[in-house]
Amino acid sequence: MRIEKYKIDDINQQLVDRHQRNFTHIAADITGLDTILEKLGAFNIAIPSWALGTGGTRFGRFSGGGEPRSLEEKISDVGVIHALNRSSNSISLHIPWDIPENPSQIKALAAQLGLHFDAVNSNTFQDQKDQKLSYKFGSLHHVDKATRKQAVDHNIEVIKYGVQLGSRALSVWLADGSNFPGQLNFRKAFQNTLESMEEIYSALPEDWKVWIEYKPYEPNFYSTTIGDWGQSYLIASKLGVKASTLVDLGHHLQGTNIEQIVSLLLMEGKLAGFHFNDSKYGDDDLTVGSINPYQLFLIFNELVEGMDDKGMDHATSIGWMIDASHNVKDPIEDLLQSVQAIKVAYAQALLVDKPALLAAQKNNDVALAQEILQQAYRTDVRPLIAEASYRSGGALDPIATYRKLNVREHLVKERGLKTIATGL
Ligand code: RM4
Ligand code: MN
Ligand code: MN
């Protein structure tokens, strides 16, 4: 399904007076308003192909209606999201959940909707049908060389798909680890992983990057071979300039200071980008900003400060992606909420009075430093996001517009009530 622009414009007309009042109110207090709106307009967040169907838990999956049944339909759903918010102009594929049978056709379809392909994700955490060797005891770290090679070859194949689609990065997340003390020799597991990654690294095209994700536990509960940012960073720095560390917000133990990790990775030029989501307990993959929006703001505060310090372009220097999966919400609404939450945090970070914060830090004025951050955090920046979206031809209120246009009802008519989505 495609949303024609005039339909969005019609609904915007109904909302625009109220929006103008709110926007004028906040705009009056903002210095550099146009630059902020331009930055917000340029900021896009990639949508993962696996988030467009209703997710499940290990106990079951309750499918929603009108879910995409093919890669083409997933791309079409990202097209819907992008038409509404003008901030989701790319899609990230997970191979083999989404094998592009005809890459040039897929690429053309995406281009028609103003979309391109973000990082491609490999998958060596599940055994696929007809797979020769099992990943039960790991993939790139496996004790058996032939199994490692199979996993390396898979990653190289994923790069090949990515090249055909115009992607520029391979994202690697490994489930490799152990469940019990004694199961694994940590050093050997690490060395094997490094060697395997070296082979993958040498297959990267000139202008490609490899992003290495870490995660402390699950599915393994005693050790994970790339379990934290230090281990990812170690591999990334041994590999070279094309390798860096990907931060998935849900992949930290409770209480971890993620913003500090982000700040240092950025300082070292080793921050690949993000998998945004939110969590209460672990890798919950909840809607971004639904549990701890202040943490998200603090992360963006470090990002903006760190990127500005290095003269990096906010929109394009690192990878921005959502990695979430839901079992109770309409996935499109959920993704619209996630993108909105990311943009809110970004806008708030842009509002932080940097010179004042620097001065407060210099004077050890702790109370003032907190005031400055919270002044920005407590500003209702939603009219800024709406204005940026409006100026780019998007909806003032993407979710309200999605509902008014009965998009899900149309999708159910088109695709049926019960569909089996691929992937998660
Ligand atoms: C993992 C990790 C990966 C994602 C899979 C589906 O926990 O976050 O990025 O590809 O889940
Ligand atoms: Mn992830
Ligand atoms: Mn995850």
Beta bridge partners of 319: 273
**Is 98 touching ligand 1 by the criterion CB < 6 Å?**
no
Contact of 277 with 249, CB cutoff 8 Å: yes
Q: Average pLDDT in the 370-389 region?
A: 98
Reported as a single tens digit per residue, the pLDDT across 138-174 is 999 999 999 999 999 999 999 999 999 999 999 999 9
Return the DSSP state at 49.
G
Q: And the tokens for 236?
A: 């990334």
Residue 305 pLDDT: 98
**Is 334 touching ligand 1 by the criterion CB < 6 Å?**
no
Residue for token pair 């004790």: 143
Model confidence, pTM: 0.97
Which residue, by CA, sits nearest to atom 2 of ligand 1?
173
Residue for token pair 């079409």: 76
**Is 285 touching ligand 1 by the criterion CB < 6 Å?**
no
Reported as a single tens digit per residue, the pLDDT across 10-42 is 999 999 999 999 999 999 999 999 999 999 999
Which residue, by CA, sits nearest to atom 1 of ligand 1?
173
Reported as a single tens digit per residue, the pLDDT across 101-141 is 999 999 999 999 999 999 999 999 999 999 999 999 999 99
Reported as a single tens digit per residue, the pLDDT across 313-327 is 999 999 999 999 888
Residue 418 pLDDT: 74
* Cα 239 to middle of ligand 3, angstroms: 23
Number of H helices, E strands in the chain: 15, 10
Residue 326 pLDDT: 80
* Cα 258 to middle of ligand 3, angstroms: 15
Residue 420 pLDDT: 55
C-alpha torsion 333→334→340→341, nearest 10: 160
CA angle 163, 122, 97 (to 5 degrees): 95
**Is 224 touching ligand 1 by the criterion CB < 6 Å?**
no
Contact of 12 with 421, CB cutoff 8 Å: no
Contact of 395 with 389, CB cutoff 8 Å: yes
Least confident stretch, 215-219, 251-255, 308-312, 325-329? 325-329
Reported as a single tens digit per residue, the pLDDT across 47-81 is 999 999 888 877 888 888 999 999 999 999 999 99
Closest CA to 193 of 174, 166, 171, 167: 174
Give the separation between CA 230 and CA 305, rounded to whole angstroms.
22
